[in-house]
Amino acid sequence: MITTIHPGLFTTVQDEGRWGYQAFGMPVAGAMDRYAYYAANILAGNKPAAAVLEMTLRGGHFRFEADYYVSICGADMQARLNGIPVKNWSGFFVDAGSELVFDYAVSGCRTYVAVNGGINTPVVLGSRSTYTRAAVGGLDGRALQAGDVIPIGKDADAAPGTPRLLPVEFIPAYRDQIELRVLLGPQDDYFSESGITTFFNSTYCISTEADRMGYRLEGSVIEHKEKADIISDALCQGAIQVPGHGMPIIMMADRQTTGGYTKIGTVIGPDLSLLAQAKPGDSIVFKKCSEDDAAAAFALERDACSRLQQVVAYNEQQPPGPARHFKITVNKQLYHVEIREVK
């Protein structure tokens, strides 16, 4: 198990989400950045759908009560293990009694911490994901608090045998100016030609009203032909609602299941992970995308995830010769050391 010494700004348990219950009004929730979440589980030797910790803007301080294999992916929160910096997008051994401390994010917004075996909170409606507005999932349906004990499961094969570092070509760059590809619709006919032109030719800023439910943007007013209200219909992640005030709102993981505002377009799935790492003050421009382009982008993302898993598995292959493992204490710091003969 893991003890929470300090929870960070907003840390929750998340997995792939609570699918199959939107018809009953239950939001999906789940990891905001699906790519970083997936990479963290692969590096930790977990199944892709294992539950992890998602930290927002500022990370926490945790003490490990047993030996574990841990990975960190996503925003760079300057992680330190027993005071020693550890690399982002990596997997490593953590000895019992060790403390892992995170700071403020210096790039990106959300960091994912995976532990071999997965976070073992109760399953609620098929998922361990935390949805705080309904107090469902995770630890009592809320963000972590100091003193919380996080249970670790056994939802994995054997732990990786060596530390892992994700190849640089698989690591996304987080910037404060991002371009999001958008499919028009389903209510683009509710907007004037001028309104659609404004949408695609303006720069929008993420406001302070940005959370797991949605990102409110600030910028040029998007003009409707007449009204902004519709009969409520389904909302997907990435849907861009435009209420009567003309400012867009992008729906995120904790979005409500239906909405009654016109939707000018939808951010394509492969760009949602990039959006999840954007923070208040960052700027966004929208680029029109065809269905064929969106399908091609999805295929590229799927291929990248497949190659990521293959590369990590390949790099895990043990080099020739036996290895010897030691636990060494230096200046009251415990280190896990592997020694191999170099030929």
- Span 90-106, average pLDDT: 95
Residue 311 one-letter amino acid:
V
pLDDT at 267 exceeding the cut of 50: yes
Average pLDDT over the chain reads 91
Q: Hey, where are the domains in the chain?
A: 2-169, 177-289
**What tens digit of pLDDT does each residue of 28-41 get?**
999 999 999 999 99
Residue 131's pLDDT is: 97
Annotate 199-263 with DSSP letters as a single string.
Answer: HHH--EEEEEEESSSEEEEESSPPPBSS--EEEEEE--TTEEE--TT---EEE-TT--SEEEE-E
* Cross-strand partners of 112: 54, 73
Q: Which CATH superfamily is domain 177-289 in?
A: Cyclophilin-like (2.40.100.10)
Between CA 247 and CA 228 the distance in angstroms is 11
Residue 161's pLDDT is: 74
pLDDT at 312 exceeding the cut of 90: no
Residue 343's pLDDT is: 45
- Span 171-176, average pLDDT: 93
pLDDT at 160 exceeding the cut of 90: no
pLDDT at 157 exceeding the cut of 70: no
**What tens digit of pLDDT does each residue of 118-149 get?**
999 999 999 999 999 999 999 999 999 999 99
SS3 170: helix
pLDDT at 215 exceeding the cut of 90: yes
pLDDT at 341 exceeding the cut of 90: no
- List the structure tokens of 316: 């895990």
Residue 46's pLDDT band, with cuts at 50, 70 and 90, is: very high
**What tens digit of pLDDT does each residue of 59-94 get?**
999 999 999 999 999 999 999 999 999 999 999 999
Asked whether the whole model's pTM tops 0.85, one would answer yes
**What tens digit of pLDDT does each residue of 219-235 get?**
999 999 999 999 999 99
- Span 304-329, average pLDDT: 69
Number of Cα atoms under 13 Å in the Cβ half of residue 269: 13
